[in-house]
Amino acid sequence: MSTFGSLEGLRALVTGASSGIGRAISLEFASAGANVVVHCNTSVDAAKQLRDEIQQLGRRSAVLTCDISQPAEAAPFVEAAWSTWDGLDLWVNNAGVDLLTGNRGKLPYEEKLQRLLDGDVRSSVILSKLVGERMKNSGGGSIINVGWDQSDRGMEGDSGELFSTAKNAVMGFTRSLAVSLAPQVRVNCIAPGWIRTAWGAGASNQWQERVLRETPMARWGRPEDIAKLARFLASPDASYVTGQVWNCNGGAIR
């Protein structure tokens, strides 16, 4: 008797896996039976710690580093990932540019835009195209991208404008790539709402109150909430689901 959402024996890669949502997805996939390649850019120690945790669950794991914002690194990265276990069944484009914490929040508007286009949009498109072609030729697979729930309804301010531009592109690309790769490969997108990652944990009282006010479930989302949805979408139980953007936002409608 199979377990709902089982990923037993499947081979996965999660980008930006060293912390936050990517870390939670990696652990959820491993707990569901998948072997997981952990990607990071600079947080190698955190990625290795995650690898060790996955191995303690009885699954295989490996760490690959890559600056996915650099186009020249995309093809070698996919080749290395694919070669780790002679193929991949699942790919999650979770990595994104953090422009909300640290000194990056002080960058000029135009530079923030370029970083998002490079690190969120172009990387998701190129990596998905490269791994999607391999999956299609090998007979199947599942790709999950990460969007943002407020992209299609708008949020005020520079950050709202910038992230909406980038994440709407990712969400639209998801829908079209799903058609291109069907029926062998499924492509879906998760659009998180207010998730308590590094920024949320240190957000001001004003933001804390706004999150509760705008979220019918009256709490911040957890990275694990996104991870459980990703597990379902990656699993054979979602075999008739493709080309969709799934909001995971506690019911927020604003």
- Residues 6 or more apart whose Cβ sits within 8 Å of residue 73: 66, 67
pLDDT at 154 over 90: no
pLDDT confidence of residue 106: 81
Q: What pLDDT band is residue 237 in, cutting at 50, 70 and 90?
A: very high
Which two three-digit tokens encode residue 223? 């990275």
The verdict on residue 5 lying in a domain is: no
Site of tokens 């195209």: 129
The verdict on residue 4 lying in a domain is: no
The verdict on residue 109 lying in a domain is: yes
The verdict on residue 2 lying in a domain is: no
Average pLDDT over residues 66-82: 97
pLDDT confidence of residue 211: 86
Look over the chain and give the mean of its residue pLDDT values, rounded to a whole number: 93
pLDDT confidence of residue 140: 97
pLDDT confidence of residue 44: 97
- 91 beta partners: 13, 143
177/87 Cα distance (integer angstroms): 20
Residue type, 15: T
Residue 77 · residue 68 · CB < 8 Å: yes
- Which phi and psi (to 5°) does residue 67 adopt? -90, 95
Q: Is 212 exposed, middle or buried (0-12, 13-18, 19+ CB in 10 A)?
A: middle
For the chain, the domain total comes to 1
Q: Is 245 helix (H, G, I), strand (E, B) or coil?
A: strand
The verdict on residue 241 lying in a domain is: yes
The verdict on residue 120 lying in a domain is: yes
192/146 Cα distance (integer angstroms): 8
Name the residue range of residue 88's domain: 11-248
The verdict on residue 139 lying in a domain is: yes
Q: Are strands 90-93 and 61-65 parallel, antiparallel or unpaired?
A: unpaired
pLDDT confidence of residue 205: 87
220/195 Cα distance (integer angstroms): 6
pLDDT confidence of residue 254: 61
Q: What tens digit of pLDDT does each residue of 26-45 get? A: 999 999 999 999 999 999 99
Q: What tens digit of pLDDT does each residue of 123-133 get? A: 999 999 999 99
Q: What pLDDT band is residue 1 in, cutting at 50, 70 and 90?
A: low
The CATH number given to whatever domain includes residue 46 is 3.40.50.720
Which two three-digit tokens encode residue 97? 């540019």
Q: What tens digit of pLDDT does each residue of 103-119 get? A: 777 889 999 999 999 99
227/211 Cα distance (integer angstroms): 20
The verdict on residue 130 lying in a domain is: yes
Average pLDDT over residues 11-36: 97
Strands of the sheet containing 185-192, edge to edge, are 61-65, 35-40, 11-14, 90-93, 141-146, 185-192, 245-248
Residue type, 113: L
Q: From 78, 96, 93, 90, select the one nearest 32 (Cα to Cα).
A: 90
